[in-house]
């Protein structure tokens, strides 16, 4: 497994309940500032295997980025169950809920 992938898995695993991180934020902290799409691929392919809290990752606008309506609804429900307010059905206020790990 690549060093970047290991860091991404670690970062996503470390997001506490009630907080979110962005794809780009995770990519930058993992050493690839332009690797947001790679983060999405890691989430897609390894979330189940590593039991990653995939629902705590949003886009740079704080928006649920999943296009599939059913999966997006599941993400919204999971976030709200952790006391994360999802506005307009898809947006999370990053000023309130974004997690900034001490790396």
Among positive and negative, which fits the CA dihedral 1, 21, 33, 102? Answer: negative
The H or E element that residue 86 is part of is strand 86-87
C-beta separation of 84 from 18 below 8 A: yes
**pLDDT of the residue at 88:** 87
**pLDDT tens, position by position, 58-100:** 999 999 999 999 999 999 999 999 999 999 879 999 999 999 9
- Classify domain 3-97 by CATH architecture: Orthogonal Bundle (1.10)
Q: What are phi and psi of 49, to 5 degrees?
A: -60, -40
């Amino acid at each position: 497994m690549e060093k970047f992938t290991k860091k991404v898995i670690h970062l996503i695993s470390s997001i506490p309940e009630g907080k979110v991180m962005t794809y780009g934020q995770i990519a930058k902290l993992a050493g690839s500032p332009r690797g947001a799409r790679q983060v999405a691929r890691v989430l897609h392919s390894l979330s189940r295997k590593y039991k990653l809290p995939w629902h705590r990752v949003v886009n740079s606008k704080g928006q649920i980025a999943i296009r599939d309506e059913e999966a997006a609804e599941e993400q919204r429900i999971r976030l709200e169950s952790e006391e994360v307010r999802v506005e307009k059905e898809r947006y999370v206020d990053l000023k309130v809920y974004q997690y900034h790990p001490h790396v």
